[in-house]
Chains A and B, each alone.
Chain A
């Protein structure tokens, strides 16, 4: 069974997924960060594949992408870095990246490589659902990769149902109409949207992301979903860190411990 399914079968609350940018802050930080995310107690690791033009991302993740690219990261390099990670890491690992670098690598070669190294799922924010169904669904299934689609407060109920139908990992609920980046707190309007989607009784678990940054926002998001995703706030934690593992553990302990 796919590790993502196993996870959600056993843990239905306060699932914590951490996004990080591969190759940041140093080219060779990738594995150290992955291990620290696991030992720090998070449930899912999202490996961000850097791209020169990340349109859905705010300044923090944009900058980390630029630095990682300057450091010399590429999809090829990421696969070299994480090769053999399943010897140490047992929690689910998801690759998150924009379509163009993956297309240049070759979609089938990419899926095959993901399976080979032990990646469980994919989040490709600029792959539209229809294109996925037409071109890639079978391929993902063939390589045992679960896919995750995003929804936003603007997504219509009928489209959420369609997305639920075509997702088989978890649904990524973008917390507000916004690009990525930590904000202050969670508004009543956002809570109304969380409640509206919760009441839809979707078949997939839901994780809330974008603007989740600390214990408070994590807990609040978890009240209305199966858990949350932290990206920008985590990137800030590792950005100037001189002790990656230590700082990551400290940060995660604060977020998880309520």
Chain B
């Protein structure tokens, strides 16, 4: 089934404006107590991150520490099965097992240059928490990660990974005790520690400049796809790029250099959970409406009264009630094609990739793979699927699922 707008109606440049808006979405809806922190970041991030010194350190660490460039792998057996030329962008091979580290490397260098001494972060599945704890260990910075009490219980290995790396994991016990509440706790902690602390947000969400800043750190993904595809296919532009969307950072990274290339179709796979009408879903564009969450105007799942609704997805990384404002904009103007992939289909796609290509994907990434069954394409199309992470962290879920 297909949700959203199917034709590319390319009228709008996909670009953030100076107030942090992508079309109708974005901005910085934050309490005044956060204004100095966010303003400091807004005023400085662009000049710092575009400086030669920053770029040298960032690129150096991405290469030698993260292991970039990640391969663009032609998946021949998968291609044969689906009848298209399918490439996998192997973010699963990044150090720590997912694309999240591209962003944390960028932000930790930035935090250092801003003279910050402490790092705080939120995490859902624990992937961003681990990626943050990792770069804090690398830079010798104190690290506190907020994590919902419920997620702590269901993602135990990642909690221990963070602790081994030297981070303190603080349970978020408010609200629904999952990712959105961990994000609230991190914001509260930032209000309480405004001077020496930097908040490393894990996706393209939050107040301006976070969504654009995180997207730029992740944009290395599409930067590499371009030259890698050129090497392999003699063309920089695939016909389709597919990525999963929780908050949307791996998707923003994979789409970034194609935003304004209308001949490249951008497909965003959201978590359908048990079905978009089951009441247990994280399919934000299918079920959400415009509103404000975590400092930006975006599309989110909420009640008529404006209370945020708890999402559901089998993959903790997609279990978020909103999406980054850039994705709300891609949806709004019809630049992105949004599909909702149900739990069972994502699991099947994860098992399928394991058997066809010898790659066990993160369940988040499996959502992107299943989207191959939901969109139309022709035989000669070149499709890049962003394989955002590896399945090690999801072994328990695969085992419980059992159908392999």
Contacts and interface: CB of A to CB of B under 8 A. Distances in A.
B33 A152 contact: yes
Interface string B170-203: 0000110000110010011001111100000000
Contact of A177 (B29, B187, B193, B305): B193
Contacts of A130: 19
A71 interface: no
Contacts of B290: 103
Given A52-B307, A102-B306, A159-B35, 19 more contacts: A53-B180, A55-B191, A55-B294, A62-B175, A69-B307, A99-B292, A100-B293, A101-B307, A103-B292, A104-B289, A104-B302, A104-B305, A104-B306, A130-B19, A149-B32, A150-B31, A154-B195, A177-B33, A177-B192
Nearest to B40: A154
Given A126-B292, A159-B35, A178-B191, A103 B306 contact: yes
A150 B175 contact: no
A151 interface: yes
A19 interface: no
Nearest to B180: A53
B16 interface: no
B379 to A, nearest CB: 46
A156 B36 contact: yes
A131 B29 contact: yes
Given A52-B175, A125-B31, A101 B36 contact: no
Contacts of A179: 33, 188, 191-192
Interface string B292-306: 111100000010111
Given A131-B27, A150-B32, A177-B193, A53 B293 contact: yes
30 contacts: A52-B308, A53-B180, A54-B184, A55-B294, A56-B33, A59-B174, A66-B174, A66-B175, A74-B305, A75-B306, A76-B305, A98-B292, A100-B292, A103-B290, A103-B306, A104-B291, A128-B28, A128-B32, A128-B35, A130-B19, A131-B27, A131-B29, A150-B32, A151-B32, A152-B194, A154-B35, A155-B32, A159-B35, A174-B33, A179-B191
Contacts of B32: 125, 128-129, 149-152, 155, 163, 174
Contacts of B289: 104
Interface residues on A, range: 35 or more
The winner among B31, B192, B193, B289 for most chain A CB atoms within 10 A is B31
Nearest to A54: B184
B302 A177 contact: no
Contacts of B150: none
Contacts of B188: 55-58, 179
Interface string A149-191: 1111011100100010000000000100111000000000000
A226 to B, nearest CB: 19
A154 B196 CA distance: 12
Listed from nearest, the 4 A-B pairs whose CB atoms lie closest are A104-B306, A101-B306, A74-B305, A150-B32
Interface in A94-148: 98-105, 125-131
A51 interface: yes
B240 interface: no
Contacts of A163: 32
Contacts of B195: 154, 177
A179 B29 CA distance: 16
B124 to A, nearest CB: 15
B30 interface: yes
A98 to B, nearest CB: 8
Contacts of A101: 305-307
B276 to A, nearest CB: 21
A69 B308 CA distance: 11
A98 B187 CA distance: 15
The winner among B180, B184, B193, B195 for most chain A CB atoms within 10 A is B184
Contacts of B193: 177
Contacts of B30: 126, 128
B304 A104 contact: yes
A126 B29 contact: yes
A75 B35 contact: no
